[in-house]
Structures are given as structure tokens and as C-alpha cells.
Structure 1
Amino acid sequence: MSMTIKEIAKLAGVSQATVSKIINNYDDVGAKTKERVLAIMKEHGYRPSYAAQSLAKKVTRVIGVIYAGKINANFNHPFFVEVVSAFKKAMGLEGYDLLFFSNEQFHQEDEDYLARCQHYRVDGCIVIGGEEVEPSVYDVDKSDIPCIGVDIRLSGPKSAYIMTDNLQIGTLAAEQFYMNGSRRLGFIGGGSASHISNERLEGFQQTARSYRLEMRKEWTVQGDFFEESGFEAMKELLQNDELPNAVFAVSDLMAIGAMRAVKESERVRIEEMAVIGCDDIIAARHVEPPLTTVRQDKEKIGRMAAYMLNDMIHGRIEGTGVKLDPELIVRSSCGSKRRYVT
């Protein structure tokens, strides 16, 4: 039978209140008393109630997870899966559990993330950015609940965000096409309303202009970050009378779909169409040809999000925005050998 606080207090010759203070790390208990009580607890295998500790400290050790907007409604994009996995592991080591909020009532009047955060008394929230974000997300951002955004800019009094530098992602893709000898560039975006996609396009276009690379309006098409949309976008692009000889897709899944469309096309061979994706998901290295991509450090994003949120919860840092550098990973779909394609 497990011991109680009352029994521990009796053995140590102290009050139950003193034992409770020691369990909850209060600093107004003498060192010798604390040492004696902890020794008795260890000797008898006493483990304090997790719930009791949380109640005493007015914390729940629970972090709310909000997948904001339509694009992330199914929780199944590999980029975010890896980010949240790293976040979960880092927060778990700090003693937190995760509570996933449903957004099945997308854009409904009763979709109230703030009320649910308050109901479950979460200590903080991570918000995973998507498109057409529910207005209630920003109610949480403006509240006194510490929040960390991934791929969404939060600016509330206790909020911060982290993302990869999306302008630089576009720049790296365009520079690699230039180094590869490609001169006519196409683009497959994640939707005209996506700020992530638009920033990558901006960096891509700026760099293309600086190297005098050709980009036409009809060579820019939109998808939704997933494979099937990349397939359909490339099919649409291939209907043009004149074609680009290189295409940058803003996600690896869309790039993989785009390469599949090229393989099925009778207009162009896959060897004649350079393709670059973004994210460096596991599948990128296993498709044929292996996909050149701009890598986002998903592990680092997840861990940094956890560290920043934990520090905000404990008042060690204030809200800020952090942008991480991407890395170009060159594979066969757009190799590094310079070649001029006419």
C-alpha cells in the first residue's frame, strides 16, 4: 500500500503542509528538513500525486495543439508530422502532455479555441499555420496564454513564432536552376492565399530576374501543398504551347506529383525537365529521379518551438519571431552540373 502525505509527515516529525511545500519545491523550507523528508520519501518509495502537484502550482502541464486552417485539417502533411513529433518529444522531456484541438467545425460560429484553452486550463499552445485560418486562433494569440506559432506569425502579448526563411527558400531554388543551366522557369505554388507560398515565389522571382531567367505568367500554377495537386498543376502547365525547362514546387509532395505528370506526358521527358521541391521529406530521396529540394530543419523547428514556449510559460523570454536558414539538397532531379537547356 502506498503511503500518504500524512504518514510521511508523521515519520519526519513535520506538518503535512511542510511535506506539501517540499513536494512542490517551495523555497521556504530549511535544507536539513527538506533533506530528511526527501530521504524518507525515497526510503518508502513514495511518489507524489502528479495531479496534486499541478493543482498546487496552478498548472496543468498540458499544451494545446491547434492545427489552424484548412490545409492542416487532416494532420497528415509529412513536414508538420515531423515538426510536431520533435515538439512533442522536447515538451515531454519537460513534463508536458499535448492536447489536440479539433477544427472539424471549421469557420463555424461556435469554433472557439480560446474558450476551450481556458476550459482545459492549458499552460500554453502551439499553433500550426495553414490557410484560411479561423479567426478564433487570433483570440488565443491576443490572450495571456503563451503561444508559439509554426509557419504563422503571432504577435500577441505572450506569443512568438518560428519558421524557415521563405524568401531564401525561393532564392536557393532559382540559384540552383541558374547553376544547372536552366533558363525558363515554372512555379507550382501552394495557393494564391498562402503567405508561405507567396514568399517563396517572391524570392524565386527576385532571383530569377537578377540572373535574367525567363518566367511567364502562364508558367505559374497553383496547388495545395499535396501530391495530387502537384500532378494536376503540372498537367495544366504542360498544356502551354511553350514550356519551361525547370519547375520549382513549394512542397516536396507537389514536386513528386509534378514529376509523375511529366513521366506520363508525351510532350517532354523527365530528363528534360529539372524539378526542385521544398521540405526534404523522406520520400524525396526515394523517388526516381531522387528529388533536389530545399531542406527545412524540421527537427530543429520542433525543438526550438518547444524550448521557446517553455521559456515563455516560465517568463524567461518575451515573444519574438525567429527565422531559420534553409539548406539546398542537390539530387538527380536537378543536378549541379552546369548545362544549357534551350
Structure 2
Amino acid sequence: MVTIKDVAKAANVSVTVVSKTLNGYSDVNEDTRRKVLKVAEELKYTPNMLAKNLKQKVTKSIALIFSNFERANGKDGVLFQIMSGIYAAAVDFKYEVVIYTRSLSEQQNISYWKFCKDHKIAGAVVTGLKTTDPYFQEIVNSDFPCVVLDTDLASEHTGSVSTDNVGAAKVAVEFLISKNHRKIGMINGHEFAVVSRQRLEGYKAALSEQDIDFDPTIVVNSDYSEESAYELADSYLQEHRDVTAIFFASDLMAIGFMNRCREIGVRIPEDISILGFDDIVLSSYTTPKLSTVRQNFHKLAYQACEQVIHILEKEEKGRHIMMPFKIVDRETIKEL
């Protein structure tokens, strides 16, 4: 881990000068200030923000950072559940919550450590990260206390909380197999999400255990988008007429697919069985009501906030916490 002494040595200045520069003191000349900041960024120096905040008597707060925040993300209600879970934990532990959003371009322009430094962030819960996002690798190597949702990171200062995605996908496909389905397709999200890889792994594991050959042609990505799933429905159904059931990596994709099926006269579950993932509120209001895998986003977020506070207060190191899941069988699965 890079220290303030390392920055001072590399910049050929004293530790005091580095400290004053990073804390915005005016008695550092401009050339020196620029040199120190450049060296600090090159070395990815991340100051101990907890100690700094305690020294400066900054109000205890947890940052909730949404990456790739988009309007479409609000339709499933997941972000609200995450916010409510973070807030509930913060209240219980007498912390405040500050919300930030970071687009891909913003991540490329300002590094994670500098963003946290500039905003006096002592600890953060981050959601929405893709593995290709600049902040993903920075968080892995950072000493800012941080917990990331829907991944499996774990280090001294970084933890993660997710549903048991491999296990949930495996049980979901096993449930379809128990209904005598053997040709089971999968509509996944995108390759840059940890959960996508994990749910595909669970899907493959369930098939393997039942001696069903994996057919990569019936597994397609739909970017966790309702619109994308709607658009691919026609071609998917035409090209894979032998598929009797489809496992979707999110309810929104399942709902988009179902909407198109209704328009073209494909009956659910008579013609095709559908199983989603998430159990968003909309799932119980579709026609027919969507069968799905339930994950509790409120509890997941609560655990994330609780963990980052424990890391902040030196009560534990970062770890990966897996949350339970449940199959909710409604009206979209037919037994053959």
C-alpha cells in the first residue's frame, strides 16, 4: 500500500509538503503542488480518509455510489430497495448517507481515489459496476473502505455482498427440469457483469448434473434490458422451436419477452415456460404472473452498509457475503 512517505520520496519533497498539498493549503507554490498531485495520482496514493475525517471532525457518513445510473434502471424498483436498505443500516449505526452517481465518462476523467478524496468519503457502497469500468480495478486496489454489490470482491478494505447467483441459477434450472423440461434456453444480461457469468455457471451446472448437453446457441445476451428482450423474442422463438422453457437472468428481460409473445400469439406457459430472476414488484402484476427467483435487495443493501461500517471502525476486514434466495412459482411454468 502506497503511503504519504512514498509520495514525498518520489516527488522529492517533505511529507509536510505532500500533506499540505493534498489538504489544499495555500502556502505551497503552484509548481510543487502540481508535481505532488501528479506523483500522487501516478502512485494511486489513497490517504486514510477515516483518520482524516476523525481529525477534521467530519460528520460520519457513508457514500452510496451508483455507477452507470440510467433512467431505465428505475423501472424495476431495485435502486429504491437498495437505497432504503442502505438508509436503514445507516440509521441503526448512526451514520448519514450521501448519494453520488458516476457515469463511464466521469470515471475516465476522475480516478476513484481522487473522487473519494475530493468528496471526503470515508467509506462507500458501490453498485452498478461493470468489470470493464475504470473504478472496478481501482476499488480492488484501494484502501478506502468499500463494499460492492453483486460481485465477489474481498480484501482488507474491500468487501462485497451478493445473492448466491451460481446456486440460485442452478436451483432455478433444476426447478424447470423437475417440470420435465429438457430443452431449456437462457437469456442472460451481458458479459461484463459478474452476476451474468455466475448465473450462466449455475445454468450449466444444473444441465450437467442431469446429463443434458449444453447448447450455446440457445443462450443469448440481452443487456438486462426489457426492450432488448422484446426485440429478440421473434427471432429466438423462430430459431429455437424445440426450446420449451427459458431461464432469464432478470425479470425485466422476462417481462419484455413476454410482452412480445402476447403480441404475436405465443401463449405462456402453454407454448413456452418462463422463469425470471429478482422478483421485482412488477413480476406479480404481469399476465400471467411471472415465476421467478427472489432476492432481497433491501437486506442485501443493509448487509453492505453494515459491512462497510465495520471495516471503517476496524471491526473486521472485507469479505464476500452471500445472501439467500427463493424460487417463487406463480403462473409462467408448465409441467410437461
Query: What corresponds to 2:189 in structure 1?
Result: 190
The residue identity in structure 1 corresponding to 2:62 is: I
The residue identity in structure 2 corresponding to 1:149 is: V
1:79-100 Cα deviation digits (max 9, x unpaired): 3431232112221333323223
What pairs up with 1:232-311 in 2 under 5 angstroms? 232-240=231-239, 242-266=241-265, 270-311=269-310
The residue identity in structure 2 corresponding to 1:226 is: S
Deviates further, 110-119 or 253-262: 110-119
TM-score, normalised by the number of residues in structure 1: 0.75
The alignment covers a number of residue pairs equal to 282
- Tell me by how many angstroms 1:65 deviates: 2.1
Partners of 1:88 and 1:231 lie apart in 2 by: 34
What pairs up with 1:16-31 in 2 under 5 angstroms? none
1:216-252 Cα deviation digits (max 9, x unpaired): 3322111111211221232331120633010000001
Give the SS at the match of 2:270: helix
Partners of 1:329 and 1:238 lie apart in 2 by: 25
**Contact residue 60 and residue 123 of structure 1 kept, 8 A:** no
Same amino acid, percent of matched pairs: 25
Query: What corresponds to 1:136 in structure 2?
Result: 135
**Contact residue 259 and residue 270 of structure 1 kept, 8 A:** no
Quick check: 1:147 aligned with 2:146?
Answer: yes
Label 1:234 to 1:109 Cα distance change in 2 as closer, same or farther (>3 A).
same
Label 1:312 to 1:268 Cα distance change in 2 as closer, same or farther (>3 A).
same
1:286-326 Cα deviation digits (max 9, x unpaired): 10111111111212101111211111111111111111221
Label 1:205 to 1:144 Cα distance change in 2 as closer, same or farther (>3 A).
closer
The residue identity in structure 2 corresponding to 1:321 is: H
1:47-102 Cα deviation digits (max 9, x unpaired): xxxxxxx766634322222223x4x4445253343123211222133332322333
Partners of 1:230 and 1:81 lie apart in 2 by: 23
Query: What corresponds to 1:92 in structure 2?
Result: 91
Quick check: 1:164 aligned with 2:148?
Answer: no
Unaligned runs of 5+ in 1: 1-53
Unaligned runs of 5+ in 2: 1-52
Deviates further, 201-210 or 132-141: 132-141
Moved segments of 4+, more than 4 Å? 54-57, 72-75, 266-270
Partners of 1:138 and 1:255 lie apart in 2 by: 31
- Tell me by how many angstroms 1:334 deviates: 1.5
- Tell me by how many angstroms 1:133 deviates: 4.1
1:1-51 Cα deviation digits (max 9, x unpaired): xxxxxxxxxxxxxxxxxxxxxxxxxxxxxxxxxxxxxxxxxxxxxxxxxxx
Label 1:207 to 1:140 Cα distance change in 2 as closer, same or farther (>3 A).
closer
Partners of 1:191 and 1:137 lie apart in 2 by: 16
Give the SS at the match of 1:187: strand
Partners of 1:334 and 1:267 lie apart in 2 by: 14
Label 1:199 to 1:241 Cα distance change in 2 as closer, same or farther (>3 A).
closer
Partners of 1:275 and 1:106 lie apart in 2 by: 37
The residue identity in structure 2 corresponding to 1:251 is: S
**Contact residue 170 and residue 203 of structure 2 kept, 8 A:** yes
Query: What corresponds to 2:111 in structure 1?
Result: 112
Partners of 1:144 and 1:210 lie apart in 2 by: 41
**Contact residue 62 and residue 96 of structure 1 kept, 8 A:** yes
**Contact residue 185 and residue 213 of structure 1 kept, 8 A:** no
TM-score, normalised by the number of residues in structure 2: 0.76
The residue identity in structure 1 corresponding to 2:188 is: G
Label 1:114 to 1:172 Cα distance change in 2 as closer, same or farther (>3 A).
same
Deviates further, 101-110 or 159-168: 101-110
**Contact residue 218 and residue 240 of structure 2 kept, 8 A:** no
Deviates further, 218-227 or 75-84: 75-84
**Contact residue 65 and residue 127 of structure 1 kept, 8 A:** yes
Partners of 1:231 and 1:59 lie apart in 2 by: 48
- Tell me by how many angstroms 1:118 deviates: 1.0
Query: What corresponds to 2:63 in structure 1?
Result: 64
Label 1:325 to 1:105 Cα distance change in 2 as closer, same or farther (>3 A).
closer
Partners of 1:160 and 1:218 lie apart in 2 by: 35
- Tell me by how many angstroms 1:105 deviates: 5.1
Query: What corresponds to 1:325 in structure 2?
Result: 324
Partners of 1:137 and 1:242 lie apart in 2 by: 40
- Tell me by how many angstroms 1:270 deviates: 4.4
- Tell me by how many angstroms 1:283 deviates: 0.7
Give the SS at the match of 1:186: strand
Label 1:58 to 1:139 Cα distance change in 2 as closer, same or farther (>3 A).
farther
Partners of 1:55 and 1:269 lie apart in 2 by: 58
The residue identity in structure 2 corresponding to 1:187 is: M
Query: How much is the aligned-residue C-alpha RMSD, in angstroms?
Result: 2.3
